[in-house]
């Protein structure tokens, strides 16, 4: 799950007194006076918010963070990503991949195993342990960097000459600069709220038994990752997608290969569908949809809805303060993440764009450095995208089609993992690496991968692209042998028809 950031579940009530800070699991040092003052107050403790707070404090700015995310009845920093998104989903993906490997791949290695079963309660407990370790780590970093924490909602109250008065979980404090980093929440189907057998990402990561029939609405990152988890654990998975084709944001060659691989695994895809009715009862969920003009009704035990995310702007006092939002509810920002209000900034999911944790983190760093008088910067042209399915999918930069649509003349190189020694030894030669370069300058415009471990391999491509590198730069860089990374080298060499091993 790539790709998720949110500050809070935005609870409606708290059992904390106005001056009480976060629970003991989130120490922040001391109780505050009613009008303590900060250089920076961050609203939201997800990847955008906690990174902005830590970096601001590192740069000598007196910093506080107010966050309302709650998990298991306790305050928990890290937002959607650490609590119910990126981190727990990867833990579940890893567990389910190990189960599938033992069942279907171990024999190929001469490892004979019988009587394999899943204890889902232990799988879920392991996932929670991973999350606890990381969220408590954020609390430790706040304490280490002297970031003051509040548990609850943050709300703009009024502007004063020296900054803003902000309601931080019931305590009014002053801040010279306010950073809004409240993230996003899952979008539900119209008139079909989440609950019962209809779940979003957090609910899909907490199912206590494997559903026999699982429906997934949305063939994006979240739908593919969570559908893959439960398919490997034994569910029959049907994916319903409104778009007419698969992974339209990815390079065409990668999308075609991915669809072939996922269908071979047993995922059942339907594209260009229109949902006409969703009903649920105690036994499951009934979905009626239209596909190619034909109405179909399908019955599922559980239904995962992953159709995008909406910004968390409720509770901010946006209307009263005059904070400008766009027609979709995202906070409007200009250069430097400035909102229309003086000394109020916004970053992460709440401003739209790529809803990726690493994009949000980089915005947090950049803004903190700007507030400290430095030159913060984010290169949005080389932000990597990753889908943690099996095989994994990763890319950065332009697809071949996007480059051509821009009027650029391109040349490409492609190398299959089936010709890579490490992939063959590893037992997973699926997929390939593709490099798209400018035909005139040889500058790398995009790199696209599908295969085992490509979530790690994409970083090399991003680094070369960050420095404006060429396919020759990448292809002439020495890579260790045997490694999966050699496929990246060979694909780059392929741009100039210089690949050796194909």
pLDDT, tens digit, 9 for 90 and up, residues 80-134: 999 999 999 999 999 999 999 999 999 999 999 999 999 999 999 999 999 999 9
Domain count, the chain: 3
Asked if residue 60 and residue 153 are part of one domain, the reply reads yes
- For residues 46 and 181, what is the distance between their CA atoms, to the nearest angstrom? 7
Whether 272 and 334 map to the same domain: the answer is no
Q: What is the pLDDT of residue 272?
A: 97
Indicate whether 157 pLDDT > 90: yes
Same domain, 405 and 340: no
Region 458-485 average pLDDT: 98
- Of 354, 378, 402, the residue at which a domain comes to its end is 378
Q: Rounded CA gap, 154 and 169, in Å?
A: 6
Q: Are 69 and 77 in contact (CB under 8 A)?
A: yes
Residue 477 located in a structural domain: yes
In a domain, residue 107? The reply is: no
* Residue 477 neighbours by CB under 8 Å, 6+ apart: 464, 489
Q: Mark which of 329, 346, 378 sits at the end of a domain.
A: 378
Gap between the Cα atoms of 72 and 125, Å rounded: 13
**Domain for residue 279, yes or no?**
yes
**Would 93 be classed as within a structural domain?**
no
* pLDDT for residue 494: 98
What is the sign, positive or negative, of the torsion defined by CA atoms of 271, 274, 275, 276? negative
pLDDT of 342 reads: 97
Residue 500 inside a domain? The answer is no
Do residues 472 and 409 both lie within one domain? Answer: yes
How does pLDDT run across 33-80, given as a tens digit for each residue?
Answer: 546 899 999 999 999 999 999 999 999 999 999 999 999 889 999 999
pLDDT recorded at residue 36: 86
Beta strand residue intervals within 268-343, DSSP E: 268-271, 274-281, 284-291, 294-300, 302-305, 309-311
Res 32: pLDDT:
46
Q: Is 10 a member of any domain?
A: no
Regarding whether 333 and 454 lie in a shared domain, the answer is: no
Residue 246, domain member (yes or no): yes
| The pLDDT value given to residue 96 | 97
Q: Are residues 326 and 352 in the same domain?
A: yes
Residue from 297, 290, 340 nearest 319 by CA: 340
Q: Give the Cβ contact number of residue 190 at 10 Å.
A: 7
Q: Please report the pLDDT score of residue 11 as a whole number.
A: 30
Confidence of residue 338 (pLDDT cuts 50, 70, 90): very high
**Residue 469 and residue 395 share a domain:** yes
Range of the domain at 422: 382-494
Q: For 210, left (φ over 0), alpha (ψ -120 to 50), or beta?
A: beta
**What span, in angstroms and rounded, lies between the C-alpha atoms of 246 and 253?**
11
CATH number of the domain within which 223 lies: 3.50.50.60
432: β partners: 416, 450
Query: What CA–CA distances, in Å, run from 202 to 8, 92, 207, 305?
Result: 13, 12, 9, 11
Catalytically annotated residues:
481
Report the pLDDT value the prediction gives residue 8, as an integer from 0 to 100.
Answer: 35
CATH assignment of the domain containing 400 = 3.30.390.30
Q: What is the pLDDT of residue 14?
A: 26
* 449-470 pLDDT tens trace: 999 999 999 999 999 999 999 9
Tens of pLDDT, residue by residue over 375-410, are: 999 999 999 999 999 999 999 999 999 999 999 999
pLDDT tens digit sequence for 410-432: 999 999 999 999 999 999 999 99
- Determine the pLDDT at residue 2: 34
Assess whether 314 and 452 both reside in one domain.
no
Residue 181: the pLDDT is 98
H or E element in which residue 447 lies? strand 444-451
How much is the mean pLDDT over the chain? 93
Both 44 and 176 in one domain: the answer is: yes
249 and 174 housed in the same domain: no
In-domain check, residue 353: yes
Q: What integer is the mean pLDDT of 341-367? A: 98
Q: Are residues 207 and 347 in the same domain?
A: no
Which of residues 355, 378, 401 is at a domain's end? 378
pLDDT digits (tens, 9 = 90+) for 187-231: 999 999 999 999 999 999 999 999 999 999 999 999 999 999 999
pTM: 0.91
How large is the average pLDDT for residues 139-163?
A: 96
Quote the percentage of the chain above a pLDDT of 90: 92
Distance CA 352, CA 346 (A): 10
Residue 21 has pLDDT above 70, yes or no: no
* Statement: residue 166 has pLDDT above 90: yes
Same domain, 225 and 138: no
**pLDDT of the residue at 20:** 32
Q: How far apart are CA 113 and CA 124, in angstroms?
A: 23
């Amino acid at each position: 799950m790539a790709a998720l950031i949110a500050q809070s579940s935005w609870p409606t009530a708290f059992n904390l007194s106005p001056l009480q800070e976060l629970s003991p699991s989130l120490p922040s040092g001391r109780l505050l006076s009613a009008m303590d003052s900060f250089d920076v107050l961050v609203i939201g403790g997800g990847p955008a918010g906690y990174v902005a707070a830590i970096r601001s404090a590192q740069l000598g700015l007196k910093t506080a963070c107010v966050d309302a995310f709650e998990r298991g009845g306790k305050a928990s920093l890290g937002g959607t990503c650490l609590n119910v998104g990126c981190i727990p989903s990867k833990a579940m993906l890893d567990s389910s991949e190990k189960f599938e490997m033992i069942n279907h791949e171990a024999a190929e290695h001469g490892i004979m195993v019988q009587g394999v079963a899943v204890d889902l309660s232990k799988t879920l407990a392991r996932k929670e342990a991973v999350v606890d370790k990381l969220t408590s780590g954020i609390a430790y970093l706040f304490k280490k960097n002297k970031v003051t924490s509040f548990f609850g909602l943050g709300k703009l109250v009024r502007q004063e000459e020296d900054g803003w008065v902000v309601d931080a979980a019931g305590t009014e404090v002053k801040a010279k600069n306010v950073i809004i980093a409240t993230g996003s929440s899952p979008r539900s189907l119209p008139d079909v709220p989440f609950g019962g057998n209809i779940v979003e990402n957090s609910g899909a990561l907490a199912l206590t038994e494997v559903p026999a029939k699982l429906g997934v609405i949305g063939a994006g990152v979240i739908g593919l990752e969570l559908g893959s988890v439960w398919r490997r654990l034994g569910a029959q998975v049907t994916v319903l997608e409104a778009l007419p084709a698969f992974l339209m944001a990815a390079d065409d060659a990668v999308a075609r290969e991915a669809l072939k691989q996922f269908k071979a695994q047993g995922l059942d895809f339907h594209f260009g569908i229109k949902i006409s009715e969703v009903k649920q009862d105690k036994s499951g969920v009934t979905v009626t949809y239209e596909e190619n003009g034909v109405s179909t009704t399908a019955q599922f035990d559980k239904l995962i809805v992953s159709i995008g995310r909406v910004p968390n702007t409720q509770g901010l006092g946006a209307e009263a303060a005059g904070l400008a939002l766009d027609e979709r509810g995202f906070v409007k920002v200009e250069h430097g993440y400035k909102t229309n209000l003086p000394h109020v900034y916004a970053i992460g999911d709440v401003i739209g764009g790529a809803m990726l944790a690493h994009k949000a983190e980089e915005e947090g760093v950049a803004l903190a450095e700007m507030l400290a008088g430095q030159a913060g910067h984010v290169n949005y042209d080389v932000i990597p995208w990753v889908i943690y399915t099996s095989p994994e999918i990763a890319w950065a930069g332009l697809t071949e089609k996007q480059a051509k649509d821009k009027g650029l003349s391109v040349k490409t190189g492609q190398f299959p993992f089936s010709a890579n020694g490490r992939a063959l030894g590893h037992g997973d030669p699926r997929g390939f690496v593709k490099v798209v370069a400018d035909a005139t300058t040889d500058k790398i415009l995009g790199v696209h991968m599908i295969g085992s471990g490509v979530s790690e391999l994409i970083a090399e491509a991003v680094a070369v692209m960050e420095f404006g590198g060429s396919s020759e730069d990448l292809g002439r860089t020495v890579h260790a042998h045997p490694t999966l990374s050699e496929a990246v080298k060979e694909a780059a060499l392929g741009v100039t028809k210089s690949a050796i091993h194909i």
